[in-house]
C-alpha cells in the first residue's frame, strides 16, 4: 500500500461527519463496487467481478470484499454507529511516530468523539486459527509514545486507547494476558458484533457501554454529580433514593447481557435490551408517559464510600441530603429497569424528565446478581440457560466448595462454547442465545458430562470428599487444565467426524447433540480414570497435552465405531430419548471401546450389560409384537389388492393353509361364538416369509420394495436372501417368548427392524 505524505493536521485526513452515514452503509456491505464503461465488463468478469447494475452510459460491477477488508470495514462502521463521528477516510490514513520522513504508521481505524480517541489495528484470518500477535504487540509498544505525541499535539484533552481487533483468531489466556499487559484492548469479532448490535438497539447511547469498559473508573468530564437524596438501609445494605435526568444517568449507567463478547471482562447478569420494547418505551415517553416505579442501581462507592451531605438532623432512621454521585465511567450498574432508562437514549425529554432511582452502594457482584434474580422471579421468569450463566458467576468464588464445583462445571461448559480455540465454539447456548441446528447444545448437557466424567470430584461445604482426576486445588488451575484437555480431545473427534460436526442437530446428526456430547465428555473422563489405574500415573500431575496423547488410542476406537455405523444404527443413537437416554448412549460408546480394547473395562459396564439383557427382553417383546402386527396387516392388504375375495386361498401356499386351518379348528374349540379366530390369525412371522417368496414374480410385484432392508438391495445369495431377516426375527421371537436372554446385538437388530419397518413406513414405501 502506498502511503500519501501526511498533512499538517490529523483532521485533514478525516471523513467529513456529513458523509459518515453513507460511508457506514458502504462499509457494512459485503461487496465492493466499481462503476466502469461497459467495454470493461469482460475484463472485470475475468477478475471475479459480476454485473450489478446497468446505468445509461456506465455499468456498476460487484465483487465480495476480501475477508480482511470486510472486517476492517465492519470495525470502522461499528465505531461510527457508536457515535465516533471523526474517522479516517480510507486505508491510507497514517500517524507520525517520529520526526523522520518515513517514521509514520498506517492506522486501520482512527475513531474520535469529543473526549476519546481509539487507534485500532485490525487482524483477520480467512478461517479460525490461533493467534500470537507478537509482531503487532511489539509494534504498538515501540511506536505508542510517538503516536501519542502526534495525537496530543492536536487533541490535547482526549483520552487515547490502542485497540487490537481480531477476526477468526482464537486467543489463549496467556496471549490475552500479554495483550493486556501491553496496555492494549483486545476486541474479537464477537466483541465487534456485540457492540454493532448494541448500537442498533441503543443508538449512540451504546457508546457509554463501550467507554465504561475501556475507561472503567476514569473521570467523565463535565458531569454534574449532585442529587437530592434520601439515605436509608434495606436488607443490611445502604441505599439512596433520588430522582435524576436520564441523560446524566446514561453516562454513568452500565448494563450487560451475557454473550461471548463480554463473558471474560464484564458482569453477566443483564439480559439483552429488546429493540421492540425499547422502541415502545421511547414512544411512550415522547407522548408524555412516565414510569412511577424506580430503577434499581448499584453505585460504585470506592474505598471511602460516596460523599453524602445531610440536611439538618431530624428524627427517624432515614436522612435527606445531597448525594455526590461518582463521576466515573461504569459507576452505576442498572440491576433493574434498563428498558426504562434506555428508552430515553434518543428522546428529547432525556435532559429534563426525572426518573426515580433506588441506588444501593457498592454491592458485590454476587449480591447484584442475587438481587437481579430475586426481582425477576416475581416478574418475568429467568430462563434455565440464563440461570446457569448467572450461577456460573454467582457461585464461582463462593466459600462453599460444593457451590464452587457447580460453578466450575458451568464455567467450563460456557467456555467450551465461547472460546474460539474450542471445537464447540458457537455450539453451546449461553445466556439467552437462540437455538439453531449448530448451536444446539445446552450448558446443562455439557456440564453434566463434566460432572459425571469424574474430573472435578465431590465435596462437602468445606472439604474435598472425593478428589477428581483433574482437581488441582482451585477452580482456576483445575479449569484451565481441564479446558485444554477437553479442547484437544474434542478437536480430534471433530476433525475425524467432520460430516457429523457440520450436521449438528440437523437430520442425520447424532454426535454433536446434547446426548452425544454429554456422553463423549463422560468417555473422556472414563479414559483418564482408566489411565490412572496404571502404577505411578497421576493425571493431576500430567500436562493436558500428555494426557490427551495417552487418551488418543481409546478415542480413535470410539471414532471408528461411530464412523462404522450404518444409517439405521446411527438413527438408534439419535432416537434415544427420556431420562435414561444419556446413560444408554454413554454405555454403548463404552462397550464399543471395550470391544476394540478389552483392557478398557470401566466400572459398572459389565453389570449394566447384564441388567440391560433383562430390559432388552421386555423391549424386544414389544418390538416383535409390533413387527408381527404390522406384517400381518400389511401383507394381508397386499394380497387382498391382488387376489380380491380369494386372497387367502390364492395368496397363501397350500402347506401353510393346511397347518393354519388345523390350528384354527383346535383353538376355536374353546372359544365362544363371535370370538373365533381365522386361519390368518394362526400364522407366525416366519410364515409370512414363505408367503412373500413363493415366486420371484410375486416377491418383485408385491413385496420387494417394502420388505428389502435398506442396504440389502444388492445382497448376495439371490433375491430370497433379501428376506433372511425374517428368519432371524422369528428366532428372536421364540427366544423372547421362552424367556431366553436377548443380547445387545440382538436388541440393536430388532431396534433397526422396528425403526425401518414399523416407524419408517411412508406412503412412498407402499
* Distances from the Cα of 327 to the Cα of 3, 214, 251, 323, 765, angstroms: 41, 15, 9, 12, 74
Binning pLDDT at 50, 70 and 90, where does residue 391 land?
low
d(CA 123, CA 672): 87
Binning pLDDT at 50, 70 and 90, where does residue 431 land?
low
Q: Checking phi first, is residue 504 left (phi over 0); if not, alpha (psi -120 to 50) or beta?
A: left
Query: Is the pLDDT reported for residue 267 higher than 60?
Result: no
Angle at alpha carbon of residue 548, lines to 544 and 549, rounded to 5°: 120
Nearest residue to 551 (alpha-carbon basis) of 570, 564, 532: 532
Query: Which three-class secondary structure state does DSSP give residue 240?
Result: strand
Nearest residue to 190 (alpha-carbon basis) of 272, 255, 259: 259
Helix, strand, coil content of the chain in percent (nearest 5): 50, 15, 35
Angle at alpha carbon of residue 680, lines to 677 and 684, rounded to 5°: 110
**Residue 746: CB partners within 8 Å, gap ≥ 6?**
616, 620, 732, 735
Angle at alpha carbon of residue 29, lines to 23 and 35, rounded to 5°: 75
d(CA 446, CA 521): 8
Nearest residue to 720 (alpha-carbon basis) of 706, 708, 731: 708
Residues 325-352 have a mean pLDDT of 79
Higher pLDDT, 696 or 380: 696
- φ/ψ (deg, to 5) at 482: -70, -40
Higher pLDDT, 501 or 607: 501
Look up residue 236 and give its DSSP letter.
Answer: T
Q: Is the dihedral of CA 399, 401, 402, 408 positive or negative?
A: positive
Decide: 382 and 258 in contact? Cβ < 8 Å: no
pLDDT attached to residue 35: 95
Q: Which helix (H) or strand (E) holds 335?
A: strand 332-336
d(CA 373, CA 271): 11
d(CA 312, CA 316): 13
Look up residue 759 and give its DSSP letter.
Answer: I
Look up residue 219 and give its DSSP letter.
Answer: B
pLDDT attached to residue 268: 36
Instruction: Give pairs for 12-18: CB < 8 Å, separation 24+.
Output: 13/88, 13/89, 13/93, 13/94, 14/86, 14/87, 14/88, 14/89, 14/110, 14/112, 15/87, 15/88, 15/89, 17/85, 17/86
pLDDT attached to residue 14: 95
Query: Which residues pair with residue 295 across a beta bridge?
Result: 357
pLDDT attached to residue 498: 95
Decide: 517 and 454 in contact? Cβ < 8 Å: no
Query: Is the pLDDT reported for residue 438 higher than 90?
Result: yes
Query: Is the pLDDT reported for residue 277 higher than 70?
Result: no
**Residue 595: CB partners within 8 Å, gap ≥ 6?**
none
Pairing between β-strand 295-299 and β-strand 355-361 as defined by DSSP bridges:
parallel
Residues 340-358 have a mean pLDDT of 81
What percent of the chain has a predicted confidence (pLDDT) above 90?
A: 55
pTM above 0.75, yes or no: no
pLDDT attached to residue 616: 72
Give the model confidence (pLDDT) of 46-91 as tens digits: 999 999 999 999 999 999 999 999 999 999 999 999 989 999 999 9
Residues 626-651 have a mean pLDDT of 93
End-to-end CA distance of the chain: 67
Query: Which three-class secondary structure state does DSSP give residue 296?
Result: strand
Quick one: angle between helices 514-532 and 581-596, nearest 10? 50
Query: Which three-class secondary structure state does DSSP give residue 141?
Result: helix
Residues 699-704 have a mean pLDDT of 92
Query: Is the pLDDT reported for residue 2 higher than 50?
Result: no
Query: Which three-class secondary structure state does DSSP give residue 467?
Result: strand
Look up residue 678 and give its DSSP letter.
Answer: -
CA atoms lying within 13 Å on the CB side of residue 276:
0
Query: Is the pLDDT reported for residue 263 higher than 50?
Result: no
pLDDT attached to residue 300: 84
Higher pLDDT, 431 or 169: 169
Decide: 400 and 461 in contact? Cβ < 8 Å: yes
* Distances from the Cα of 697 to the Cα of 196, 646, 657, 721, angstroms: 68, 19, 21, 15
d(CA 197, CA 58): 36
d(CA 373, CA 370): 5
Quick one: angle between helices 384-395 and 365-377, nearest 10? 150
Binning pLDDT at 50, 70 and 90, where does residue 92 land?
very high
Give the start-end residues of each E strand in 73-115.
86-87, 94-96, 104-106, 109-112
- φ/ψ (deg, to 5) at 362: 55, 45
Residues 733-760 have a mean pLDDT of 80
Query: Which residues pair with residue 296 across a beta bridge?
Result: 336, 358
Lowest mean pLDDT among 174-178, 291-295, 675-679, 695-699: 291-295
DSSP labels, 230-246: EEEEETTEEEEEEEE-H
Enumerate domains of the chain plus CATH numbers. 10-30+65-205 (3.40.1350.10), 217-380 (no CATH), 386-603 (no CATH), 613-765 (no CATH)
pLDDT attached to residue 386: 59
Query: Is the pLDDT reported for residue 763 higher than 70?
Result: no
Decide: 325 and 331 in contact? Cβ < 8 Å: yes
Decide: 523 and 589 in contact? Cβ < 8 Å: yes
Give the model confidence (pLDDT) of 505-517 as tens digits: 999 999 999 999 9
Amino acid at each position: 500500500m502506498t502511503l500519501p505524505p501526511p498533512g499538517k493536521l490529523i483532521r485533514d485526513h478525516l471523513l467529513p461527519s456529513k458523509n459518515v452515514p453513507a460511508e457506514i452503509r458502504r462499509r457494512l456491505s459485503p461487496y465492493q463496487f466499481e462503476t466502469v464503461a461497459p467495454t470493461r465488463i469482460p475484463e472485470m468478469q475475468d477478475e471475479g467481478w459480476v454485473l450489478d447494475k446497468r446505468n445509461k452510459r456506465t455499468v456498476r460491477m460487484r465483487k465480495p470484499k476480501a475477508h480482511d477488508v470486510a472486517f476492517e470495514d465492519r470495525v470502522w462502521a461499528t465505531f461510527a454507529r457508536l457515535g465516533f463521528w471523526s474517522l479516517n477516510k480510507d486505508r491510507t490514513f497514517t500517524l507520525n511516530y517520529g520526526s523522520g520522513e518515513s517514521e509514520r504508521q498506517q492506522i486501520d481505524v482512527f475513531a474520535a468523539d469529543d473526549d476519546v480517541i481509539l487507534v485500532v489495528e485490525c487482524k483477520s484470518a480467512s478461517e479460525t486459527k490461533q493467534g500470537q500477535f507478537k509482531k503487532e504487540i511489539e509494534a504498538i509498544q515501540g511506536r505508542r509514545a510517538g503516536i501519542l505525541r502526534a495525537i496530543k499535539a492536536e487533541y490535547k484533552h482526549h483520552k487515547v486507547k490502542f485497540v487490537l481487533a481480531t477476526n477468526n483468531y482464537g486467543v489463549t489466556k496467556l496471549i490475552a494476558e500479554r495483550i493486556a499487559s501491553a496496555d492494549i484492548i483486545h476486541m474479537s469479532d464477537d466483541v465487534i458484533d456485540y457492540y454493532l448490535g448494541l448500537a442498533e438497539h441503543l443508538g449512540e447511547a451504546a457508546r457509554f457501554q463501550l467507554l465504561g469498559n475501556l475507561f472503567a473508573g476514569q473521570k467523565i468530564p463535565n458531569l454534574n454529580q449532585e442529587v437530592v437524596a434520601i439515605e436509608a438501609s434495606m436488607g443490611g445494605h445502604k441505599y439512596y433514593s433520588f430522582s435524576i435526568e436520564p441523560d446524566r444517568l446514561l453516562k454513568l449507567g452500565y448494563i450487560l447481557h451475557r454473550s461471548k463478547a463480554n463473558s471474560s471482562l464484564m458482569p453477566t447478569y443483564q439480559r439483552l435490551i429488546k429493540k421492540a420494547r425499547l422502541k415502545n418505551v421511547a414512544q411512550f415517553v415522547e407522548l408524555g408517559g412516565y414510569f412511577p416505579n424506580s430503577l434499581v442501581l448499584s453505585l460504585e462507592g470506592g474505598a471511602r464510600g460516596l460523599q453524602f451531605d445531610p440536611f439538618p438532623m431530624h428524627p427517624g432512621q432515614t436522612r435527606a441530603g445531597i448525594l455526590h454521585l461518582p463521576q466515573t465511567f461504569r459507576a452505576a450498574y442498572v440491576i433493574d429497569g434498563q428498558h426504562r432508562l434506555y428508552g430515553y437514549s434518543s428522546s428529547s425529554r432525556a435532559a429534563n424528565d426525572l426518573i426515580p432511582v433506588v441506588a444501593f452502594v457498592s454491592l458485590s457482584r454476587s449480591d447484584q446478581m442475587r438481587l437481579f434474580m430475586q426481582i425477576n422471579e416475581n416478574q418475568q421468569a429467568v430462563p434455565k440457560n440464563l440461570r446457569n450463566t448467572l450461577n456460573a458467576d454467582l457461585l464461582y468464588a463462593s466459600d462453599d466448595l460444593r457451590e464452587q464445583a457447580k460453578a466450575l462445571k458451568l464455567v467450563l461448559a460456557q467456555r467450551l462454547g465461547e472460546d474460539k480455540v474450542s471445537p464447540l465454539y458457537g455450539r453451546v447456548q449461553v445466556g439467552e442465545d437462540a437455538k439453531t441446528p449448530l448451536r444446539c447444545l445446552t450448558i446443562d448437557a455439557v456440564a453434566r458430562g463434566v460432572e459425571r466424567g469424574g474430573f472435578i470430584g465431590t465435596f462437602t461445604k468445606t472439604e474435598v470428599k472425593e478428589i477428581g482426576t483433574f482437581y488441582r486445588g482451585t477452580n482456576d488451575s483445575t479449569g484451565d487444565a481441564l479446558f485444554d484437555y477437553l479442547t484437544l480431545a474434542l478437536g480430534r473427534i471433530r476433525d475425524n467426524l467432520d460430516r457429523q460436526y457440520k450436521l449438528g442437530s440437523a437430520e442425520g446428526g447424532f454426535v454433536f447433540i446434547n446426548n452425544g456430547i454429554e456422553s463423549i465428555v463422560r468417555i473422556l473422563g472414563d479414559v483418564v480414570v482408566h489411565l490412572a489405574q496404571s502404577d505411578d500415573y497421576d493425571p493431576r500431575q500430567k500436562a493436558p497435552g500428555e494426557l490427551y496423547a495417552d487418551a488418543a488410542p481409546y478415542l480413535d476406537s470410539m471414532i471408528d465405531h461411530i464412523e462404522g455405523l450404518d444409517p439405521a444404527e446411527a438413527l438408534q443413537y439419535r432416537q434415544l430419548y427420556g431420562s435414561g437416554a444419556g446413560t444408554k448412549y454413554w454405555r454403548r460408546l463404552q462397550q464399543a471401546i471395550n470391544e476394540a480394547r478389552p483392557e478398557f473395562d470401566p466400572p459398572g459396564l459389565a453389570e449394566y450389560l447384564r441388567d440391560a439383557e433383562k430390559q432388552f427382553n421386555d423391549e424386544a417383546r414389544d418390538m416383535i409384537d409390533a413387527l408381527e402386527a404390522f406384517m400381518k396387516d400389511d401383507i394381508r392388504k397386499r394380497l387382498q389388492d391382488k387376489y380380491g375375495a380369494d386372497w387367502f386361498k390364492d395368496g397363501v401356499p397350500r402347506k401353510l393353509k393346511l397347518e393354519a386351518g388345523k390350528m384354527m379348528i383346535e383353538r376355536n374349540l374353546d372359544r365362544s361364538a363371535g370370538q373365533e379366530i381365522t386361519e390368518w390369525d394362526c400364522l407366525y412371522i416366519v410364515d409370512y416369509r414363505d408367503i412373500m417368496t413363493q415366486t420371484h414374480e410375486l416377491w418383485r410385484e408385491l413385496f420387494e420394495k417394502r420388505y428389502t432392508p435398506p442396504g440389502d438391495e444388492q445382497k448376495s445369495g439371490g433375491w430370497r436372501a433379501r428376506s433372511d431377516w425374517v428368519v432371524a426375527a422369528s428366532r428372536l421371537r421364540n427366544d423372547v417368548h421362552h424367556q431366553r436372554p436377548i443380547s445387545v446385538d440382538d436388541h440393536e437388530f430388532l431396534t433397526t427392524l422396528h425403526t425401518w419397518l414399523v416407524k419408517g413406513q411412508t406412503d412412498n414405501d407402499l
